[in-house]
Structure 1
Amino acid sequence: MSIPAVPDIVDRIQQEWAQAYPQLDAQPIGVLGRIQRIATVASQRLDRNLEVHGVTRSEFDVLGALARADRPLRASEVVSTTMLSGASITKLTEGLSRRGLLERRKSERDGRVVLLAVTDEGRALVDAEIPRRLADDERILADLAPDERELLASLLRRISVSMGE
């Protein structure tokens, strides 16, 4: 698969590192630098769109985890699906609860366990934002054919798995 090379900012940065440190192989910057740049730009776009709803990306991640679940979740389950820390989940869920976007309930089985559930208002926020987010993601990937997307996802998955938890 031959793709014409259109230079980008990462090419410049990689070249600068290679010139500054010619004894080192700067090739990984070409891959990981682009992953970081794409993640940064996509995150900035998401942040701007979430401002309208008065929530942060982390808060949206929590609401999204709860909206995807078919049941209330323990905080530890939200941690495992959002990649946020337990301490941040506690702080985020307290704020979301105060604003009526999620509710905290005691488990019927074990009163010591707190379960988190998205409220109707929280679900409405997710329902409003997720189609816009997916459309924005689609625009980012528009230049890739379906087989290229599959290949890219497969390669990135391999890297992700090799990094471990």
Structure 2
Amino acid sequence: MGETRQRDAIDRILDEWAVQRPDLDVSALAVIGRLSRYAALVQARLDAVFAEHGLQSWEFDVLSALRRAGAPYELTPGELDRALLITSGTTTHRVQRLEARGFVTRRRDDDDRRIVRVRLTETGRAAHEATHDAHAANETRILAGLSPDERDALLGGLQALGRVLGDAAEGGA
């Protein structure tokens, strides 16, 4: 016989709905509820490491997007929007806060003064570098309890869900 799976909070919720609304198919909650719950649990673990380094997760995300852009570690606000999957209003607010901390600068493009460029400062790069190794190790720890087969199965399932939801890389099909 197979392993007996430990019941969790979502199992309890499903049981309660089975009693209260036996006519309603809530089977998708077994997946969607866990995705939502586990995303919050993962985020809490990520946030703890960022806090140890004096950053919030959104700050690390912006610094990472600029760092990934390569030298001179610079993007336009629109490029940041796309890199971070956020709205322009959110990007403006975040850039202002990071600029106040000395992590980024804003400047007008030399060729087209209408374009603003956001650049990672040395201070911002140092903050990112000091955090990145700890963040990568933390992500590895979070997944350490999964076997390679479980990790591959989880990745495959998440990629399939992304496909169904229409998630594709920019410019992808």
Same fold at TM > 0.5: yes
Q: CA deviation at 1:142?
A: 1.3
Q: Which residue of 1 aligns with 2:25?
A: 25
In structure 1, runs of 5+ residues without a counterpart are none
Q: Which residue of 2 aligns with 1:116?
A: 118
Q: How many residues align?
A: 164
TM-score scaled by structure 2?
Answer: 0.85
The question of 1:129 aligning with 2:128 is answered no
The question of 1:56 aligning with 2:59 is answered no
Match for 1:110: what amino acid? Answer: D
Q: CA deviation at 1:61?
A: 1.3
Partner residue of 1:100 out of 98, 102, 107: 102
Q: CA deviation at 1:96?
A: 0.4
The question of 1:161 aligning with 2:163 is answered yes
**Quick one: distance in 2 between partners of 1:74 and 1:92?**
13
The structure with the largest helix share of the pair is 1
Q: Which residue of 1 aligns with 2:15?
A: 15
- State the identity %: 35
Match for 1:16: what amino acid? Answer: E
Match for 1:118: what amino acid? Answer: L
Match for 2:123: what amino acid? Answer: E
Task: Give me the CA root mean square deviation.
Answer: 1.8
**Secondary structure of 2:28 counterpart:** helix
Match for 1:141: what amino acid? Answer: L
Q: Which residue of 2 aligns with 1:44?
A: 44
Partner residue of 2:80 out of 78, 81, 88: 78
Partner residue of 1:152 out of 147, 151, 154: 154
Runs of 4+ with >6 A deviation: none
**Secondary structure of 1:27 counterpart:** coil
**Quick one: distance in 2 between partners of 1:138 and 1:11?**
27
In structure 2, runs of 5+ residues without a counterpart are 168-173
**Quick one: distance in 1 between partners of 2:139 and 2:16?**
30
Q: CA deviation at 1:3?
A: 5.0
Q: CA deviation at 1:10?
A: 1.7
